[in-house]
Each structure stands twice: as C-alpha cells, then as structure tokens.
Amino acid sequence: MRLLLMADTHVPKRARDLPERLWREVDAADVVIHAGDWVSVGLLDALEARARRLVGVHGNNDGPELRARLPEVARVELGGLRVAVVHETGAATGRERRCAARFPDIDVLVFGHSHIPWDTTTETGLRLLNPGSPTDRRRQPFHTYMTAEVRDGVLADLVLHRLPPRGQ
C-alpha cells in the first residue's frame, strides 16, 4: 500500500495549487494523508475527487467550512498499521512523551503545523512523522512531502522528497 503524506499546503495563499509532481504522487498513491492547513475547501474537493482514499484533518488556519468536513484527529487502520493524523502536537521539546501518552494505541502519528520535516520514534515505538510543506517552506531549505509503503502492518520505505523551487 503506497502512502503520500503532506501538510500545510495553504492553497491558495502560499501557492495557487499543488505542484504538478505532487499531483502525480496523488495519482500513484493508494492513500493520501493531509495533516491540515488546507486553507481552501477547493483543494479538499480536488483531492477527494482525485485520490483513491483521502485521510485528512483540519488545521489552525482552516475555516468553518473545512472544520465542518474534517476532524481534528483522524484514526485509520491501513493494511494492519494503526495511523493517527493531527495538525498540531505542540512544542518540539517533549513532543515524543506527549504524543506517546495521547496516542498509546497508534503505530504512526502524522502531524503538521511547523512546516519542519520530522521523523522520530518514541520509547514506546510510536513513529512521529511531519512531511513539512510542499508549498510554504518558511525557514526550511526546501518544500517537502513524504511517501511510504505499508507492508504486513509495518511502515517501510519512508522517503522525504524535496521539491524544486517554483518555476523549475
């Protein structure tokens, strides 16, 4: 099962649309995970129409229309892997401890908000992933997203992808 992980797209405030390379990844993925800060309901509509399966949550920059359609926390089982998605996890300091306590029955937690790619594993075995942002890198050197595979209930082949600067 091929996963595509993204967050903090901020369409159309930070970009008019997702980069074409990311749309190709949407087409290739079995499951698209979006960890919030869509900004536009139009992007949600487009991803719902194009993705085979979409799992998403609302973020702090998402208005009432998106909050009405998306949960604050999503929990899904993907090929035996227990996944949760949330936008905010709080400060980086203490993140692993807080998330392990909040999600004791989860294998992988996908989150956003910081626009900073993140991949750590807690002492309890919870894997924390932030794909960064494909459209708003803030102080990061690259726009980013992640892909991974689920095999026999295990996350495999996780890749953090860098996108070229806009216009290239």
Q: What is the pLDDT of residue 138?
A: 85
Give the residue extent of every domain in the chain.
2-163
Give the domain 2-163 fold.
Purple Acid Phosphatase; chain A, domain 2 (3.60.21)
Query: Is residue 33 left, alpha or beta, with left meaning phi > 0 and alpha meaning psi from -120 to 50?
Result: beta
pLDDT digits (tens, 9 = 90+) for 91-136: 999 999 999 999 999 999 999 999 999 999 999 999 999 999 999 9
How many other CB atoms sit within 10 Å of the CB of residue 94?
10
Contact 130, 117 (CB under 8 A): yes
For residues 151 and 2, give the distance between their C-alpha atoms in angstroms, rounded to a whole number: 9
Q: What is the pLDDT of residue 168?
A: 46
Q: Which two tokens stand for residue 31?
A: 């499951």
Query: Is residue 101 left, alpha or beta, with left meaning phi > 0 and alpha meaning psi from -120 to 50?
Result: alpha
Q: Which two tokens stand for residue 112?
A: 């956003």
